[in-house]
Structure 1
Amino acid sequence: MNRTTADGRASAQQKEEPTRTMAARILITTDYLHPGDAVDQLLRGHGLEPVHSPARGPRPLAGRRSLFDGMSGAILASEPVTADMLAHATSLKVIARSGVGYDSIDVQAAAGQGIRVCNAPGTNHHSVAELTLGLIIMAARRLLEVTTAVRNGQWPREAGHELRGSTLGIIGYGPGGRATAKLGAALGMNVLVSTAHRDPENAAVLFTDLDTVIRNADYLSLHTRAGQGTDWLIDAPRLHAMKPTAVLINTARGSLVDEEALAKALSDGTIAGAALDVLESEPLPGDSPLCGLENVLITSHLAGQTIEARARAGLAAAHAVIDVLENREPAHPVDR
Structure 2
Amino acid sequence: MTALAPNGDSGWLQQEPPALPPSYDKHHIVFLEAVHFPLAKLPFPYTIDTYSKTKPDEIAERIKNATIVIANVIDVKPSDMDNAPHLQLLAILATGMGWVDKEYCAKRGITVVNTPAANIDAVSEHFLALYFAVRKRIGIVDEIVHTSDDWIQTNSLTKRVWPLGPPLGIKQEILGIIGYGALGKNIECLCKMLGFKEILIAERKGAKEVREGRTRLEDVLLRSTTICVVCPRALDTINLIDEAELERMKPETIVINVARGGIVNEAALAKALKEGWIFGAATDVLDNEPGGPGTTPLLPDVENDEEEVPNMIVTTHVAWFSGATIENLQNINRDAMTAYVEGRLYDSKIKHCVAVHDGRIWKES
- TM class by smaller structure: 0.7 to 0.9
Residue 54 of structure 2 corresponds to residue 33 of structure 1: no
Q: d(CA) in 1 for partners of 2:215 and 2:118? A: 27
Q: d(CA) in 2 for partners of 1:80 and 1:281? A: 12
Q: d(CA) in 1 for partners of 2:217 and 2:167? A: 28
Give the partner amino acid of 2:128: L
Quote the offset at 1:153 in angstroms: 4.7
Partner of 1:48: 46
Q: d(CA) in 2 for partners of 1:118 and 1:222? A: 24
Match of 1:278 among 279, 285, 290: 285
Match of 1:334 among 355, 358, 364: 355
Residue 110 of structure 2 corresponds to residue 115 of structure 1: yes
Q: d(CA) in 2 for partners of 1:199 and 1:107? A: 28
Match of 2:317 among 276, 289, 301: 301
Is 1:140–1:163's contact at 8 Å kept on the other side of the alignment? Answer: no
Give the partner amino acid of 1:299: T
What are the equivalent positions in structure 2 for 1:319-330 lying under 5 Å apart?
319-329=335-345, 330=350
Report the aligned-residue RMSD. 2.2
Deviation by residue 1:65-93 (Cα, 9 ceiling, x = unmatched): 11212211122110111110111121111
Deviation by residue 1:162-190 (Cα, 9 ceiling, x = unmatched): 11231111011111111111111111111
Identity %: 26
Match of 1:24 among 24, 27, 49: 27
Quote the offset at 1:104 in angstroms: 2.0
Larger Cα-atom Rg: 1
Is 2:137–2:311's contact at 8 Å kept on the other side of the alignment? Answer: no
Q: d(CA) in 2 for partners of 1:235 and 1:106? A: 26
Give the partner amino acid of 1:316: I
Is 1:214–1:238's contact at 8 Å kept on the other side of the alignment? Answer: yes
Match of 1:289 among 285, 293, 297: 297
Quote the offset at 1:199 in angstroms: 9.6
Quote the offset at 1:327 in angstroms: 1.9
TM-score by length of 1: 0.84
TM-score by length of 2: 0.78
The unaligned stretches of length 5 or more in structure 1 are 1-19, 201-205
Quote the offset at 1:150 in angstroms: 2.2
Residue 98 of structure 2 corresponds to residue 103 of structure 1: yes
Quote the offset at 1:195 in angstroms: 4.3
Quote the offset at 1:98 in angstroms: 1.5
Q: d(CA) in 2 for partners of 1:79 and 1:99? A: 11
Q: Secondary structure at the match of 1:265?
A: helix
Is 1:253–1:279's contact at 8 Å kept on the other side of the alignment? Answer: yes
